[in-house]
Amino acid sequence: MFGRVVIIVVRTTLIVDEEGTIKNIIPKAKPDTNTTEILAEL
């Protein structure tokens, strides 16, 4: 890693309730499975 520039994208989904409280955090969210994970939490 010395002398190298690396750009990394980290996707994280936060599920927030009506009051603004974070109810769940989904780290390393993948676009193809993120919708089903969100719907399972609701």
In a domain, 4, yes or no: no
**39-to-10, 13, 14, 15, 23 alpha-carbon distances in Å:** 21, 12, 13, 10, 13
Which range of residues forms the domain containing residue 25?
12-41
Question: What pLDDT does 27 receive?
Answer: 93
Using CA atoms, how far apart are residues 42 and 33, in angstroms rounded to an integer? 15
Q: Decide: helix, strand or coil at residue 37.
A: helix
Number of domains in the chain: 1
In a domain, 2, yes or no: no
Mean pLDDT in runs of 10 for the chain (42 residues)? 85 94 92 90 84
In a domain, 21, yes or no: yes
In a domain, 6, yes or no: no
Question: What pLDDT does 12 receive?
Answer: 94
Provide the phi-psi class of 33: left if phi over 0, else alpha when psi is between -120 and 50, else beta. alpha
**33-to-5, 14, 18, 20 alpha-carbon distances in Å:** 30, 15, 24, 24
In a domain, 25, yes or no: yes
pTM above 0.85, yes or no: no
